[in-house]
Amino acid sequence: MARAFVYVILGGGVAAGYAALEFSRRGISHGELCIISEESVAPYERPALSKGYLLPEAPARLPYFHTCVGAGEQRLTPEWYKEHGIELILETTVKSANVKQKTLTTENGETISYRTLIIATGARALKLEEFGVRGSNAEKVCYLRNLNDADRLVDVMKSCVGGNAVVIGGGYIGMECTAALVTNRIKVTMVFPGAHCMVRLFTQKIASFYEGYYESKGVKFIKGTVVTSFENDSEGKVTAVILKDGTRLPTDMVVVGIGSRANTSLFEDQLTIEKGGIKVNNLMQTSNSSVYAVGDVAAFPVKLFNGDTRRLEHVDSARKTARHAVAAIMGPRNTSDLDYVPFFYSRVFTLAWQFYGDNIGDVVHYGDFTKGKFGAYWVNKGRVVGAFLEGGAKEEYEAIARVVKLKATVKGKDVVEGQGIDFALRA
Ligand code: FDA
Ligand code: NAD
């Protein structure tokens, strides 16, 4: 079987949904665009999976978090795609690609050809087996990347209420899933190799606040070590986690969040790869001019960082790079360069933080860490390059984004420290 489309989006995640909306706004004819996804549902806001989806009361469920509600836009239900003549080819894995012939081949042997391809294959969760630890396929050991994983995690949590969980990894998944487990009345021990949680972004001082808050909820931390094996019962269900120093942690369930890898494998011998992603220019175009890459899989030049190539694994960049690629594909030849300010955020328990920019240079902390209203500026060569804020109001978050975009000049670190959030509000 063979089918042909003008535009093909490979991957049906966040970026695919935002790209589809942009295509429809710019005007495409019925039958010109398809989305191929190995998932069984239309694109949805993936961040919901580690937050609202895991709540014990009134959890978020589809169709309520289909894209593009996360950015306050229309909710694109399966009916929307039908009405707009956009074909959703779901539960279909693409097994090979040929960018010279402009074809994709699915696991069923179907060939789908395109004039323009957008690669939006996102990333996958790293498995413990990739670090030489066996046994993470045991029952009640959970990863979290897609809806199926989230459903499984919900079922496992339900079976462990009142029991114990070990969370392996102290990054985004580890922190957000621990909060969800506690809310589901499961006692958590977090294990990770770093000196503190969220080691890629937080300073020790910022991390101490969150760790203290988690400890007040009964969470235990075991830092600076890794898991080496699991123990299972006769039915293959996990019963304990063994650490490098031999410590045995009896448990009813495990959640693993040890990082992710971009899904580049279909294109590695055909397109330029950089920083673990598919390298694109400032129009999101790859080394083949008919192929674009967006979202987690794309390594793109960040103008704010003097064109330095970055691969960002965050929802805001998936949304914006997707829209920008479609603008470049369908818009005038002189589509302006993407002018992006990297933006990360998280919400756990009643806490919420946002970060903009880059975490390089010297750090100036400010605010009241005891009251949960604090922040930090990262200052490089006398200018603000990054800003973090916990517990901010809308206009304060907008202000820290602005201060980073402006690369505000810092006259003295003590001045900024004294002014705190006012430094951003006045910029
Ligand atoms: P995404 O992973 O969304 O989609 C990729 C799609 O491609 C999937 O549908 C996949 O099945 C499909 N695919 C891959 N290979 C394929 C193939 N060969 N054939 C067919 N289909 C294929 N970020 C943030 O800023 N704030 C947050 O709070 C969160 N929270 C969060 C929670 C959880 C649980 C996760 C896993 C991630 C987050 N993120 C986040 C990160 C954010 O969700 C992520 O950056 C975006 O989903 C990236 O969007 P993409 O479309 O690039 O990939
Ligand atoms: P991460 O990179 O944030 O954290 C990985 C953690 O695992 C770190 O604490 C690291 O020290 C630890 N680790 C690494 N190797 C290990 C090993 N062998 N054993 C034990 N621990 C190990 O990755 P993640 O938390 O798995 O998140 C996966 C993806 O999901 C990322 O792309 C992330 O951006 C995305 N995500 C984002 C959000 C958000 O932005 N709020 C929320 C959830 C997920």
- From 18, 66, 201, 315, the mutation candidate for ligand 1 (largest count of ligand atoms within 8 A of CB) is 315
How far does residue 264's CA lie from ligand 1's centre (Å)?
Answer: 13
List the chain residues with pLDDT less than 70.
none
Burial class (CB in 10 A: 0-12, 13-18, 19+), 424: buried
- Quote the pLDDT of residue 77: 98
Tokens of 126: 């790293």
| Distance between CA atoms of residues 38 and 333, nearest Å | 33
Burial class (CB in 10 A: 0-12, 13-18, 19+), 150: buried
Q: List C-alpha distances in Å: 349 to 172, 179, 180, 214.
A: 14, 6, 8, 9
Q: Which atom of ligand 1 is nearest to the CA of 346?
A: 28
- From 168, 173, 176, 247, the mutation candidate for ligand 2 (largest count of ligand atoms within 8 A of CB) is 173
Tokens of 125: 């969760």
E strands, 132-250, in order: 141-142, 164-168, 187-192, 220-223, 227-232, 238-243, 248-250
Backbone angles phi, psi at 176, to 5 degrees: -70, -40
| Distance between CA atoms of residues 52 and 230, nearest Å | 29
How far does residue 122's CA lie from ligand 1's centre (Å)?
Answer: 5
- Quote the pLDDT of residue 332: 73
Q: List C-alpha distances in Å: 274 to 170, 277, 366.
A: 26, 5, 36
Q: Which amino acid belongs to residue 285? A: Q
Question: Which residues have C-beta atoms less than 6 Å from ligand 2?
Answer: 50, 123, 131, 168-174, 176, 192-194, 199-200, 226-227, 257-260, 313-314, 344, 346
- Quote the pLDDT of residue 336: 83
- Quote the pLDDT of residue 335: 76
Residues 198-242 have pLDDT tens digits of: 999 999 999 999 999 999 999 999 999 999 999 999 999 999 999
Q: Which amino acid belongs to residue 225? A: T
- 58 and 48 in contact (C-beta within 8 Å)? no
How far does residue 364's CA lie from ligand 1's centre (Å)?
Answer: 33
- Quote the pLDDT of residue 79: 98
Q: Which amino acid belongs to residue 165? A: A
Q: Which value, to the nearest 10 degrees, does the dihedral of the CA atoms of residues 416, 419, 420, 421 take?
A: -120
- Quote the pLDDT of residue 41: 98
- 167 and 255 in contact (C-beta within 8 Å)? yes
Burial class (CB in 10 A: 0-12, 13-18, 19+), 147: middle
Reported ipTM: the value is 0.99
The model's pTM is 0.98
**Which helix (H) or strand (E) covers residue 78, if one does?**
helix 78-83
Residue nearest atom 22 of ligand 1, based on CA coordinates: 11
- Quote the pLDDT of residue 4: 98
| Distance between CA atoms of residues 423 and 408, nearest Å | 9
- 230 and 117 in contact (C-beta within 8 Å)? no
